[in-house]
Structures are given as C-alpha cells and as structure tokens.
Structure 1
C-alpha cells in the first residue's frame, strides 16, 4: 500500500530538517508540530485518571491509572516507547493509548513512567521498573476479577517482552496476553528486503532509523553493543511458554523486520500470535489519534486481543 495520503501530503514539512534543528529553530519546530497534527482533534474518553507511585528496587516508580466509569474487567500494564531514552506519561503513545484501551475494553490501564536510559542509567533498570509495576498491579488486582495483561510500544514493547520472560523464569504471575506495537527486540536489527527498502524512500529522513541511530539506541540502553543479555533485546531469548500475543506493526518502518521476525519466532515457539499490519503507517503510529483509520483499527485489534476474541479486522 502507498504511504497514508494524509501523511504523504504533509511530508514536505519535514524536508531538510534534522533533530538539532528542532532544538534551535522555532520555525522548524512549528513545521514539525504541524506535521503531527491529526485530521481531527482527539477527545479524551470518559475515564478516570489517577497518578500514583509504586515501590521499586531503584526507588518509587510513577504510574498513571486509567479506569472506566462503569465496572472494570481486568487490567493492562502499558509501557510507552521512545527509544529507551525518551518518552513520558503525557505522550500520546502513553496517554491516548491508555485512555482509549480503558474506554474501549472497559479495563483498567496502568501506564508506567519507567526510568529512562539517560545519565548513566542502563539495562536492566527500565525492566526492573516495569517488573516492579507488574508485581504491584498483580497484588492490587488479586481480589478483583478479570485477566491482567501486559503491553507496550516500540522500546516499551521490548520492555514488556523482557518483563514477560522474567515473570516466566521466576514462576511469578504471568500476563494473560501480550500487546506489542511495532516492537524493536533484536540487535543487530534484521534488514529490510529490497521491496520494503525502496518503499521506505517515501518516509521523511527525519523519521527513519539508520544503522547509526539503531546502534546509538541500543548502546544508550544496554551500555554496550556486544555480549548483550538475551532479555536486554529479548528477540534473542527463549520465547517458549509466553502468553498469547497480539502484534501491531507499521507498514512503513525500518524496524518492522524485527516485528516480523518476532512473529515467526513466537509461532515457532508454540506461542499463539496474531498480527495486524497498519497499512500506510509509519513507526510510532500510536502517537497519533484515532481520527486516522489505521490508528483506530490498531486500537480495536488490541481490544480484541484483551477480550480474547478474534479481531474483526482484515489482517
């Protein structure tokens, strides 16, 4: 499929821009902001929101809890992306996704503000925070009904997968399902095939993942590029015994081969896996609102995964 027409017609706004320009040039930032303006403004669904802090091995971990106004069935622990070194609870991939899942699935969602890989913080600290938040949620939910699931996007998907592996290995309460959006879980990253590589030329350079940027992301997170623990980039780990998994992939994504490979690995390991490909969309498309059809469909796919029913989507 071609690049989403709404995104394609805005691509000129990012021409010639680099990340340094966004820090120093107000006009560049204005163009960047306009590029990420959706067709319609997102309206917060009718859910309650509460900020809390939960205990963790490196200190308290901030979380934000989204609860439907009516009876809640089950819970989800959600981990935003941001290349392991950026992102927060206010970004759409955290706030919008959590609110939408809570409203659509009538489930409680706990979004985790895990420690980022900055200022000397490296793996396993972000995984430790995610694990601590999971144990807190499992304890809080022990007297309530409904399954507890675990998910995340991009780097957050890697942290979710690493956490699920740790829970399995320690024989702790495992998630009922995994929700993974455009996961980056392999290093070295699998390469695009020739057809996909040619298609990626339509994506603004500012939004591409180069070999150098991928290496920087991994080095920032793990502190090195060699001899990585298997659960640091968990595509290298034993995946047997993990829960049923719903994968959302972006069609125009330099990191999509990691998600494609993960799907094959999970299937080979005997893990039930369903995949939804958001056609015409780029990596990080859950940072946009559901006025874009493929964002809306991606959210519905995750809701179907949470509810344990076959997604009513063309996969």
Structure 2
C-alpha cells in the first residue's frame, strides 16, 4: 500500500489518470480454469431468462452451487463483464462447484422493481428443481451478487426466507442495501476524501438510479425486498459472507447490514478488501480480487 492506502497497482494507474478508464485494462491475464460453460434460456416472469452455467469438466453429483448476479446499478452489466464471467469461472474452478450466472432484467423505461428480484427468485428455484441434471446438491445452493447484484441477492434471499425457501448461504459483495445510503463513519469519510471525484458516485447519480429502480417511488416507501437493510426482521436470513471495498461509498451500507444481521442472530463473515475502489471483482488479474474469489470458494466448501 502507498501513503494514501490504495493498492499499489491502482495507485500507479492513478498517477497517470484519474478517470474511469484507469480500470478498463486488466491487471493480469484471466485465470486458466478448464470448465464446461453453457448458455441456457429458461422461462422467466418477463419471457426468456438467460442463464450461463459453469461446471467442472469432471462429472460429479451433489456439488455446491452459487447462483450469481453481476452489478451495474440495476441498469447495466451483462454476463460477459468480468464481475459476471471471471467471477463465475474463478469460483467454479476453485470450489469444484457449479455457478449459474443470471441475466436478470435491467431496469429502464418499462422495467422496474420487483422485476429483477422476480428473475432472481425464478433462477434460484430453477436451479434447485434441476439439481440432479446440474450435478448440484439442492440443499447447498447459495445466492450471491456484487453491488446492485448484491442488493438483488439480499432482497431475493429475504423473500425466499419469507416463502419458506431460505438459501443455503448469501454471498454479498460490496452491496447496496439501504436507501438513502447511511452517513459514512469518520473513518470511511476520510477514506472517501482520498478518492478522485471522477471515481466517486455523485449524489445525483445515486438518486437517479434509485428513481429508475423504484419507478419514481420515494425510497422511504420501498419494499424491504428492494432494500433489505430496511427490513424490520432479519432473523432467519441465510448465513452471510459480506465483502466491502475499502474506498467505496457503498461500504457504509454493507457494514451496517452486517451489524443488523448479527443483531438478528445471523452468522456473518465480514471482510473489507484493502486498497480498492468499488467493484474490485471487475479488476481481472488483481491479487485482491483473487483473494476474494478464494474466500468465496471457501464458503462453498462449507458443510
């Protein structure tokens, strides 16, 4: 780490640029996992729902499974972005597990909450119903996601709990689960002050994506399935791995959610990934991203 606390590889790029383009190039080659990767469309609430299934080459039964959701502020992202594709490859390879990446509906003019959550619940139930075909243990299907995908994973987990189908685990990576965002702690505020403006989320942009997600409804009226950090009762939420980025405005939401879960008696493993900005799973080849994938795989190895 340098004097500012940023990862040295990020700091080196910041010396050359303070725009988003500094994160667009890989920090190293993709990992060489040998997997069977299959795209499949299933029937979803809004029509065809596309899944990308990652399976180890060796046939086996009763593997753990992660249903995975990329980020993108509910309005962007796809199955090809590193946070989806490289994360799915890395977890499946490390854990000898099946990963099912979900192309949930993105929000826009005609798509709003609860459509993406409906898609996630549909994908989760499909995986459990087709567990034998996929070589998956139906009792070990985890639900996880990053950023907006972490929000959807948490919201879907809460809904599934209420409907008697609590997932095995929740893996939440730098999630946004409160609206508005909690006020940052003094320590987080000091960290955020070091982040270049071009790499921060302006308040008006956060408000815009909230409005798109909720179709203009006030955040204070939103369902807890939209922002699970406002749920009145989190008892029975699945055991949770929660990983926040050190230099990230969303860290306050993830940290508060971890506290709320513990207060509700939920087992929580909480990590702050050091030296990185929001979205570190998109940083192909970065050692911090590899360390996160190691921890995610270890969670899938639990019994």
TM-score by length of 2: 0.91
Q: Does 1:234 align with 2:222?
A: no
Say if 1:67 and 1:102, in contact at 8 Å, map to a contact too. yes
Distance 1:266 1:284, change over 3 A: same
Q: Does 1:166 align with 2:159?
A: yes
Say if 1:184 and 1:259, in contact at 8 Å, map to a contact too. yes
Say if 2:98 and 2:136, in contact at 8 Å, map to a contact too. no
Distance 1:34 1:255 in 2: 20
Distance 2:227 2:296 in 1: 23
Q: Where do 4+ consecutive residues of structure 1 move more than 3 Å?
A: 12-15, 32-35, 142-145
* Structure 1 position 204, deviation (Å): 2.6
* Structure 1 position 225, deviation (Å): 2.5
For residue 9 of structure 1, give the secondary structure of its aligned residue in structure 2.
helix
Deviates more, 1:143-152 or 1:207-216: 143-152
* Structure 1 position 120, deviation (Å): 2.4
Where does residue 313 of structure 1 map in the other structure?
Answer: none
* Structure 1 position 198, deviation (Å): 2.4
* Structure 1 position 165, deviation (Å): 1.1
Distance 1:35 1:97 in 2: 16
Distance 1:34 1:190 in 2: 28
Distance 1:299 1:257 in 2: 22
Distance 1:7 1:292 in 2: 9
The structure 2 residue matched to 1:305, chosen from 291, 299, 302, is: 299
Distance 1:283 1:184 in 2: 11
* Matched length: 292
Distance 2:125 2:172 in 1: 19
Distance 1:145 1:188 in 2: 38
Q: Does 1:215 align with 2:207?
A: yes
* Structure 1 position 57, deviation (Å): 1.5
For residue 187 of structure 2, give the secondary structure of its aligned residue in structure 1.
helix
Distance 2:160 2:248 in 1: 30
Where does residue 26 of structure 1 map in the other structure?
Answer: none
Where does residue 120 of structure 2 map in the other structure?
Answer: 130
How big is each residue's C-alpha offset from its partner over 1:259-303, in whole Å with a ceiling of 9 and x where there is no partner?
0001001101111000111100111000112x3221111111111
Distance 1:145 1:113 in 2: 20
Q: Does 1:101 align with 2:95?
A: no
* Structure 1 position 14, deviation (Å): 4.1
Q: Does 1:264 align with 2:251?
A: no
Relative to total residues, which structure has the larger strand share, 1 or 2?
2
For residue 205 of structure 2, give the secondary structure of its aligned residue in structure 1.
helix
The structure 2 residue matched to 1:10, chosen from 9, 13, 32, is: 13
Say if 2:246 and 2:277, in contact at 8 Å, map to a contact too. yes
The alignment's C-alpha RMSD in Å is 1.7
* Structure 1 position 157, deviation (Å): 0.6
Distance 1:297 1:191, change over 3 A: same
Distance 1:43 1:145, change over 3 A: closer
Gaps of 5+ in 2: none
* Structure 1 position 35, deviation (Å): 3.6
Where does residue 69 of structure 1 map in the other structure?
Answer: 57
The structure 2 residue matched to 1:253, chosen from 248, 253, 260, is: 248
Q: Does 1:90 align with 2:83?
A: no
